[in-house]
Structure 1
Amino acid sequence: MTQPLAGKVALVAGGTRGAGRGIAVQLGAAGATVYVTGRSTRSQKSEMNRPETIEETAEQVTAAGGRGIAVQVDHLVPEQVRDLVERVDEEQGALHVLVNDIWGTTAVEWQKPVWESDLDKGLHTLRLAVDTHVITSHFALPLLLRSPGGLVVEVTDGTNEYNAVNYRNSFFYDLAKGAVSRIAFALAHEVEPHGATAVLLTPGWLRSEFMLGEFGVTEENWRDATKFQPHFAISESPAYVGRAVAALAADPDVSRWHGQSLSSGQLAQVYGFTDLDGSRPDAWRYMVEVQDPGKPADTTGYR
């Protein structure tokens, strides 16, 4: 098995679970050294109160063929992020891939207008979803830009095209995801003169640990959830978006994507990778053409 990212160093900020874990593991499978950060450790849980930990993710990175390094970091605390980047510099001397996938909140109130929403919860959501990305970029980008050809991936939910015309069922969630899109847009302008590439990337309907738990299924029997939500048939594992990032990071012509809004399904068609089951789900096209118009669930031609 080839490891095109051998010798490369990646930082997956927000790699405890979900897309972040999938991305970290697939970067490891491609041979990278991956720093995995988050607040949840074996000795301390975050406000998410979930069982997943950064240590588990780092171990999975190593088992996949890379080198996983877990570092507990609250990305809302600038000093902790500064210390993290200084450690990466001291231990590796370079940073080639930065993935901003920080989220980590259960405070979103769905189906409530802004005037009925809890303001403290809403502002906390914005801080976790937006401020963390800004703080991390502030400290990490100088190290990344020291090496030519660096890659910055801002992870969001929904393509720019989809989010531009679809309300995401929460004022604060909608605002948070829109802000991450603009972060990617701004970073693309700022890193371009330094030879780096910045993109916005979204998974499709992600089979995160949380989502599987909501449906009472596992990755092994996830299709059982389609009995309750037929459109879940288009869902994808975290490995799928992970393989998208690994493909971008290994592409010598990655700058062709600079400044663009990308999806895992779109990149699978270009790079040829598949999800764990060998399929190539194209969730956002499915959403527009099947789910949103109210058509019966049918993934034919979409995975």
Structure 2
Amino acid sequence: MKIALIGLGDIAVKAHLPVLSQISEVEWVLCTRNAGTLKQLAARFRISEYYTDYRDLIRCGIDAVMIHSATSSHFELASYFLKQGMPVFVDKPLADNFADCEALHDLAESQQQPLFMGFNRRYIPLYCQELPGYALPGTAVCHAEASSLRALRWEKHRYNLTGEPRTFIYDDFIHPLDSVNLHADLKADDLMVTTQFDVNQAGASSMRLARVDVQWQRNNTLFQASMNRQHGMTCEHISADYQNMSFRFESFTEGRCWREGAERTVRQPDWTPMLASKGFEAMAHHWLTVAEQGKQPLAITQRNLHSHWLAEQVLHKVQPSL
């Protein structure tokens, strides 16, 4: 199989290429507009074929594409390759508005091609192994306690990084939002959204979003996603409560579990590579399976679209307070 990587920015170089370049059964092709960067990365990762124009990729016989470029280019690139009848991987978010996301999913359906989303937190091995009901269908073991989930809270905070609301929500907050969107069946009226905006030295609120908290209840389970971009440090915290069992994580590699009145530490095996612990390795292999088969489970496609729909609903609830 021959797959092109389009857009070689920070996330592609730090997270994707180190994992993908180790998969020998795939022939990789690089594509970015910066010729200097292109040649440097091709040499670094020992990739012999590379292009500066994505349109040239069709002539080199690729079977699928992975899009890692800026969000503003996702719609154009994904549309182009879906129309060529190819499986497409796109780093989150698919677009910065729900109308474009819906249009791309409609196009993928009409072309009968999978549109795969790069949400690496869905694949974190420690969470998939330990948290009943968290893993994607078919990607990890099933737990008998999955139906006993009572609360799932995902916090992703940053230091001194307030931002424009649409970019804040689609490019960053969508991570914790998707991570608690396990069922993809939420209605807009079910959302409770609270916000904080940056305040200047005079005490006046600015147009820059500082914090968003979203929660909803599904049957007897509470879901919460939180992002504070005026936090004291960049960090991530996850908590999950089941019937008489609780978990807390402050990293992707180690956490605590309380059950039957006792505490135990849960952790990744020693020497687990960092990118594997962050889910990039498992996500890459799942994507390759989807690309080879030319399809992905409907439940995953629905969750991909619904998480972007949720982002738009949160944005609508944020905007009136501006």
Structure with the bigger percentage of strand: 2
Q: TM-score, normalised by structure 2?
A: 0.39
Select the structure of larger CA radius of gyration. Answer: 2
Q: Which has the higher helix share?
A: 1
